[in-house]
A and B are shown apart, each in its own frame.
Chain A
Amino acid sequence: MSKVRVLVGTRKGAFILESDGKRQKWDVSGPHFAGWEMYHIKGSPVDSNRLYASQSSGWFGQLMQRSNDGGKTWEPVDNKFLYDGVPGTHQWYDGKPHPWEFKRVWHLEPSLTDPDTVYAGVEDAALFRTTDGGKTWNELPGLRGHGSGSRWQPGAGGMGLHTILLDRSDPGRMYIAISAAGAFRTDDGGTTWKPINRGLKSQYIPDPDAEVGHCVHRIAMHPSRPSVLFMQKHWDVMRTDDAGEQWREISGNLPTDFGFVIDVHAHEPETVYVVPIKSDSEHFPLEGKLRVYRSKTGGDEWEPLTKGLPQSDCYVDVLRAAMAIDSLDSCGVYFGTTGGQVYASSDSGDSWNPIVRDLPAVLSVEVQTLA
């Protein structure tokens, strides 16, 4: 019987939610690391019991945790993220050079082939990797060093590398995204990088051909079609069909094209999910109605999904890492809110149920489909 394990990172700890393939009854464990900000927890695709977690606090900094038993027990691993060589500077909010300073790990992306290899996206934006299960972390300096790094600038939420996508068909190819620098691609395993932001338009950037500076919130990919990417930018939902060489807008009939999360159906590469959010400034659902929007046409045409979601007086946010998709035959979709709810759909988004309602603000949601 299939099972799913949902890994939830919150402002005050991590929670693990488990169910059988029906996804109706859930066991909740946690809080793990109570009181700590858990930006991301993710499992290895080749060893589902191997989990990695980013644990941080404003008081005591960054810690990294590893589990070898699916989250029952954890052990701290190395928490030293030292920039390669002389870190140099990026732009600060006032446009002046500012030294790179490590603040936290935003995203963990375990290798598709090796449970001991994990990529880590950090703030101030850089990409690190461990190849020994977290005992040591080393920067892949080609990203910051490719030429535009000195012009990267933080957004209001900091300059975090928040998205890492690995290409199953090409071990050398990887995509990452940084707020507010944009999207980047490597074709040689992280040695060299190029910005892939052509076609993105940002009102606050006067140069329509700006190589960097775009506030990319999230990128999603279907594993079977790794050259097609979907992006939720600060404003605009975008799509590329050529690995980022050119993007085009697919916001279509969305009620607002602002949002944070975006993800792709497990079995339908043209089915995409977003959660439109009212902005600027408010960052909650339009009209107090929590609606996931689904496109079955790869964008442009969107339908609201509301069954089981609050349709009045709902003023939560859904942050960029807080949506995930399982790979069961009837595809499951999950998202968490800043109000502490984690919603699950076991029918591709047609209907929703809260797994939990009262967690701390949810920062990230991942799901493992277990045999």
Chain B
Amino acid sequence: MSVGVIRVVLPAHLRTLAQVSSSEVQVEVMGPVTQRSVLDALEARYPTLQGTIRDHVSQQRRAFVRFFACEQDLSHESPDAPLPDAVVSGAEPFLVVGAIAGGAI
């Protein structure tokens, strides 16, 4: 089975939680590269991120977290849909983004 190295960009609060200094981390993903497989690999490497991006039980994306890659909003894509080739090849990162608050807080 193929192993890909996927670049993931995390928002500041999650970088602090994962104790990483750079905005980007790299995770190894075996098999198909999807939102689910990337996030599974991310949480395996950084267990403190469990529950912060996806709900512990439903594994659904938390409402105010968005996923982007290649200038596309992938937040509403199936978690099992293949990510763009540029993410799979490592040319582009997969971005985990905190939704804007609209000035509310």
A interface residue numbers (CB < 8 A to B) = 11, 35-36, 57-63, 76, 79-80, 82
Q: Which A residues touch B65, using CB under 8 A?
A: 59-60
A57, A76, A82: the one within 8 Å of B48 (CB): A76
A36-B13, A80-B56, A82-B56 are contacts. A62–B51 as well, Cβ < 8 Å?
A: yes
Name 6 extra pairs, CB < 8 A, besides A35-B13, A79-B50: A59-B13, A59-B64, A60-B98, A79-B51, A80-B56, A82-B56
Q: Are the CB atoms of A80 and B13 closer together than 8 Å? A: no
Closest 5 pairs (CB-CB, A-B): A60-B52, A59-B64, A59-B98, A76-B48, A79-B51
Residues of B within 8 A of A63 (CB): 17, 48, 51-52
Task: Looking at the assembled complex, report how far the CB atom of B13 sits from the nearest CB atom of chain A, in whole angstroms.
Answer: 6
Would you call B62 an interface residue if the criterion is a C-beta within 8 Å of the partner chain's C-beta atoms?
A: yes
- Asked if B48 and A61 make an inter-chain contact with CB atoms under 8 angstroms apart, the answer reads no
**Complex formed: what's the CA distance from A61 to B48 in Å?**
12
A315→B92 CA distance, assembly (Å): 50
Give chain B nearest CB distance to A98 CB in angstroms: 16
User: Is B13's CB under 8 angstroms from A61's CB?
Assistant: no
* B92 to A: closest C-beta gap in Å: 23
Closest to B57 in A: A82
- Residues of B close to A79: CB separation below 8 A: 50-52, 56
CA separation between A35 and B55, bound complex, in Å?
21
Q: How far is the CB of B85 from chain A (nearest CB, A)?
A: 29
Task: Decide if A57 touches B51 in the complex (CB within 8 Å).
Answer: no
A selection of 28 A-B contacts at a CB cut-off of 8 Å is: A35-B13, A58-B105, A59-B13, A59-B62, A59-B64, A59-B65, A59-B98, A60-B14, A60-B17, A60-B52, A60-B53, A60-B62, A60-B65, A60-B98, A61-B51, A61-B52, A61-B55, A61-B62, A62-B51, A63-B17, A63-B52, A76-B17, A76-B48, A79-B51, A79-B56, A80-B50, A80-B56, A82-B57
Task: Report chain A residues within 8 Å CB of B53.
Answer: 60
Rounded to whole angstroms, the CA-CA distance of A58 and B52 in the bound complex is 10
* A80 lies within 8 A of B51 (CB): yes
B2 CB to closest chain A CB, in angstroms?
31
Q: How far is the CA of A80 from the CA of B43 in the complex (A)?
A: 14
Q: In B22-48, which residues have CB < 8 Å from any A CB?
A: 48
Judge whether B99 is part of the interface by a CB distance below 8 angstroms: yes
With CB as the reference atom, state the residue of chain A lying closest to B54: A61
Number of interface residues of B (CB under 8 A): 18
Q: Report if A60-B13 is in contact (Cβ < 8 Å); known contacts: A80-B56, A82-B56, A82-B57.
A: yes
Contact status B99-A59, CB under 8 Å: yes
Nearest-Cβ distance from residue A324 to partner chain B, whole angstroms? 26
Rounded to whole Å, the gap between the CB of B64 and the closest CB of chain A is 4
Instruction: Give Cα A11 to B105, complex, Å.
Output: 9
Q: State the CA gap A36–B16 with chains docked (Å).
A: 12
Q: Which residues of B contact A76 (CB under 8 A)?
A: 17, 48
- Chain B residue with Cβ nearest A55: B17
| Cα separation A79 to B43 with both chains bound (whole Å) | 13
Q: Which of A36, A59, A79, A82 has the most CB of B within 10 A?
A: A59
A80 to B50, CA, bound (A): 9
By beta carbon, the residue of chain A nearest B62 is A61
Q: In whole angstroms, how far apart are the Cα atoms of A11 and B56 in the complex?
A: 24
Contacts of B50 in A (CB 8 A): 79-80
Instruction: Give every chain A residue within 8 A of B64 (Cβ-Cβ).
Output: 58-59
Nearest-CB residue, chain B, relative to A81 = B56
Residues in chain A near residue B105, CB distance under 8 A: 11, 58
Chain B residues in 8 Å Cβ range of A82: 56-57
Report how far A57 CA is from B50 CA in the complex, Å.
Answer: 14
Contacts of B11 in A (CB 8 A): 59
Mark each residue of chain B from 44 to 85: 1 if its CB lies under 8 Å from any CB of chain A, else 0: 000010111101110000101100000000000000000000
Instruction: For the complex formed, measure the closest distance between the CB of A11 and the CB atoms of chain B, giving whole angstroms.
Output: 8
> Which B residues touch A62, using CB under 8 A?
51
A258 to B11, CA, bound (A): 41
- Measured between alpha carbons, how far is A79 from B48 in the docked complex, in Å? 9
Chain A's closest residue to B53 (CB) is: A60
* B56 surroundings in chain A (CB, below 8 A): 79-80, 82
A57 / chain B contacts, CB cutoff of 8 Å: 13
Q: A80 to B49: give the CA distance in the assembly, Å.
A: 11
Instruction: State in angstroms the CA–CA spacing of A35 and B11 once bound together.
Output: 13
Query: Within 8 Å CB of B99, what residues of A?
Result: 59
